[in-house]
Every structure is written in structure tokens, then in C-alpha cells.
């Protein structure tokens, strides 16, 4: 795939592109579309929300979103509760989701989405979590300068452990 054929487009709460992001997420993770739509619309109201969809031609092939960390957000509160008052958790933008359709993985789509999402966040650092067994995602994040805060955090109601990663942005 040529770099020039890849376009990254922002979306917000009521845009048609948000619906394409939901479709990609539901297809990638095998989740119920209606549940995914509720998840996306809730997050699109968070502080400093930023979402993007990657297109190859007219086809939506990847998506990502995140927001500024804040007390009252379940993920942020859980991580702070597990890691304590670590200053690396302060003034952070959280990369919540990044998904690329299987046939487009390894083509640079995830990297382009990643970079677009982290551009100009206004925060000193970024945070994310991904399953410990997701070697492809971990490798991409490591190659883009992310480091580990925790190697096996268990979120409530989830059996698989997650790594928590941080990246300095300034």
C-alpha cells in the first residue's frame, strides 16, 4: 500500500465517520455493534476527545480514539488505584482504542493513526493499556517510544492481564 493512498480523517460525536469507526471496532474485536456505538458515543464526550478513521480509497480500514485522563474515568481511576500516585499518570492523554482490520495490519495504518492521535494533545505524556499477549501492538508501541509502567495489570471483570504503557510527549 502506498503512503499517499492512506488518508486519516478526524471524527466527532455526531459525524458519519464515527459510525465507520464503530464498524471497524466491532468487526476487529467481534463485539456487538450496538454496544460499540454506545461505548463510542460515551467516550466522544470526554475531555479533549480525539478520534480518527484511516481510509484506503473509500474503504475505512482502521480507527483510534482517546481523551485527556481525568478522575472519574473508570480506566484512569483503576490505573491510579493500582499504581498509586505516580506522577507519570498526571497531565496525560489516554489512547483508549486503536484497531486495524486484519488485512491492513503491518502496512503502516496503525502507525499513522497512532501519530495523528498523539499530535498536539497538549499533555506532557500519553498512557495506554493493551493485553500482555498482543505482541504485535506491544511491538508497535515499543518502536514508537512507549515504555512500561506495569506488566500485568488485571482490570475488573477481565481474565487477561494488560500492560500499561507511557510515552513522553514533550
**pTM for the predicted model, two decimal places:** 0.94
Mean pLDDT of 35-45: 96
CATH assignment of 3-168, among 2.30.33.40, 3.40.50.2300, 3.30.70.20, 3.40.630.30: 3.40.630.30
Beta bridge partners of 10: 52
Could you report the per-residue pLDDT of 55-89, keeping only the tens digit for each?
A: 999 999 999 999 999 999 999 999 999 999 899 99
Checking DSSP bridges between strand 125-131 and strand 147-153, what pairing results, if any? Answer: unpaired
Residue 1: pLDDT band (50, 70, 90) is low
Could you report the per-residue pLDDT of 17-30, keeping only the tens digit for each?
A: 999 999 999 999 99
Q: For position 3, what pLDDT does the model report?
A: 57
Angle between helices 135-143 and 109-118 (to 10 degrees): 50
Amino acid at each position: 500500500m502506498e503512503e499517499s493512498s492512506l488518508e486519516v480523517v478526524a471524527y466527532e460525536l455526531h459525524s458519519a465517520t464515527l459510525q465507520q469507526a464503530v464498524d471497524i471496532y466491532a468487526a476487529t474485536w467481534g463485539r456487538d455493534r450496538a454496544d460499540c456505538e454506545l461505548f463510542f458515543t460515551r467516550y466522544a464526550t470526554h475531555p479533549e476527545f480525539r478520534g480518527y478513521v484511516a481510509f484506503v480509497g473509500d474503504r475505512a480500514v482502521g480507527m483510534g480514539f482517546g481523551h485527556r485522563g481525568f478522575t472519574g474515568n473508570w480506566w484512569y481511576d483503576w490505573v491510579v488505584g493500582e499504581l498509586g500516585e505516580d506522577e507519570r499518570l498526571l497531565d496525560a492523554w489516554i489512547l483508549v482504542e486503536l484497531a486495524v482490520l486484519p488485512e491492513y495490519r503491518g502496512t503502516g495504518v496503525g502507525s499513522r493513526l497512532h501519530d495523528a492521535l498523539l499530535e498536539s494533545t497538549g499533555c506532557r505524556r500519553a498512557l495506554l493499556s493493551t493485553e500482555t499477549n498482543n505482541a504485535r501492538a506491544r511491538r508497535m508501541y515499543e518502536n514508537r517510544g512507549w515504555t512500561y509502567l506495569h506488566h500485568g495489570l488485571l482490570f475488573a471483570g477481565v481474565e487477561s492481564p494488560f500492560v500499561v504503557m507511557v510515552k513522553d510527549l514533550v
